[in-house]
């Protein structure tokens, strides 16, 4: 091969060799430029730590469930129901006073007398307020009661006089099912005799004895509102005639009303004793309910 040709080939080879070296350098520079910097060996490498599983806290202990307890009811009491009141004046007396005034006076005095003997007593009204007939029996039926006594005064012919007591048997149909249930009987089964008749007889006898009033007896009036809609033994006492001259004077007399109250209380407590009730089963309480 001629030298010039050799030199030409050498120059070409040198040229391509230099070009290849330059391309390699450029490629390396471009490649390393995109690499992340090497970590310095002087800096400790912290390996990613695997998080420890978080311990599951024990389930909280649920609060103890209180054992179901029967609702606590106050002990049964006596309900005194002074008739009329408020916008319902009742009968008009010869002296221009209305029945509602005397019914409230006697009802309150009777409640005081019974409480003094240790009985718990509630009043359907304790002031000159209007209370519907239905509200009176609804109040009495809110919980078990020993009995209900409604206090009224009569009117009639001027010669009519005396004291009489009413009760209702059977009760209103909607109450008979409740009475059967309370007695543990199925509907239609004969109920034991109603205690209201015996309560009426006891009050009638004692009140007439205490006041010397004419005894007009006891009467069953199944449709009388308060007594027919009350679950407990219930009576209505017509304590005398506001239209009778002598009885009207008696009713205005506080000493006669005291005798009447003593007689009513005696008849009530006598029946309660016969029925096996005592004040110890109905402790007196300062928070006697007045309502409804
Ligand atoms: Zn009346």
In a domain, 32, yes or no: no
In a domain, 184, yes or no: yes
In a domain, 35, yes or no: no
Centre of ligand 1 to C-alpha 183, Å, is 32
pLDDT in tens, 2-42: 444 444 444 444 444 444 444 444 444 444 344 444 444 44
Residue-range definition of the domain harbouring residue 266: 78-281
Residue 269 in any domain: the answer is yes
Cα 61 to averaged position of ligand 1 atoms, centre (Å): 63
145 within a domain of the structure (yes/no): yes
148 Cα to the center of ligand 1, angstroms: 15
Gap from CA of 150 to ligand 1 centroid (Å):
9
Domain count, the chain: 1
Q: What is the 181 CA–ligand 1 centroid distance (Å)?
A: 32
pLDDT of residue 192: 82
Ligand 1 centroid, distance to 106 Cα (angstroms): 13
Which has more confidence, 141 or 38?
Answer: 141
**Tens digits of per-residue pLDDT, 210-254?**
999 999 999 999 999 999 999 999 999 999 999 999 999 999 999
Is the pTM higher than 0.95? no
DSSP conformation class of 121: E
| Spatial CA neighbour of 175 closest among 202, 196, 201 | 196
Classify residue 231: in a domain, yes or no: yes
**How many angstroms separate the alpha carbon of residue 84 from the centre of ligand 1?**
6
260 domain residue, yes or no? yes
Higher pLDDT, 47 or 60: 60
Residue 29 in any domain: the answer is: no
CATH number of the domain bearing residue 275 = 3.40.630.40
Q: Tell me the pLDDT tens digit for each residue of 89-120.
A: 999 987 888 999 999 999 999 999 999 999 99
Q: Is the dihedral of CA 235, 241, 243, 247 positive or negative?
A: negative
Q: How far is the CA of 214 from the centre of ligand 1 (A)?
A: 19
Half-sphere exposure of 238 (CA within 13 A, CB side): 25
Residue 164 host element (H or E): strand 163-167
């Amino acid at each position: 091969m001629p030298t010039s040709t050799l030199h030409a080939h050498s120059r070409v080879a040198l040229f391509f060799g230099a070009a290849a070296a330059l391309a390699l350098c450029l490629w390396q520079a471009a490649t390393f430029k995109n690499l992340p910097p090497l970590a310095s060996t002087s800096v400790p490498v912290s390996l990613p730590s695997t998080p420890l599983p978080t311990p599951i806290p024990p389930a909280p202990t649920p609060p103890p469930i209180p054992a179901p307890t029967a609702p606590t009811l106050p002990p049964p009491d006596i309900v005194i129901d002074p008739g009329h009141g408020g916008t319902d004046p009742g009968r008009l007396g010869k002296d221009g006073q209305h029945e509602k005034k005397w019914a409230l006076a006697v009802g309150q005095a009777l409640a005081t007398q019974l409480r003094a003997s240790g009985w718990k007593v509630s009043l359907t009204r304790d002031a000159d307020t209007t209370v519907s007939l239905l509200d009176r029996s609804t109040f009495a039926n809110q919980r078990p009661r020993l009995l209900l006594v409604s206090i009224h005064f009569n009117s009639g012919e001027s010669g009519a006089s005396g004291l009489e007591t009413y009760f209702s048997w059977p009760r209103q149909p909607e109450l008979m099912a409740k009475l059967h249930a309370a007695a543990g009987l199925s509907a239609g089964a004969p109920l034991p005799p109603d205690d209201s008749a015996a309560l009426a007889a006891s009050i009638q006898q004692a009140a007439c004895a205490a006041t010397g009033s004419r005894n007009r007896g006891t009467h069953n009036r199944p449709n009388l509102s308060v007594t027919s809609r009350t679950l407990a033994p219930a009576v209505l006492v017509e304590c005398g005639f506001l239209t009778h001259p002598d009885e009207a004077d008696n009713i205005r007399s506080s000493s006669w009303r005291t005798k009447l109250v003593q007689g009513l209380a005696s008849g009530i407590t006598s029946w309660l004793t016969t029925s096996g009730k005592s004040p110890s089963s109905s402790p007196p309480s300062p928070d006697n309910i007045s309502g409804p």
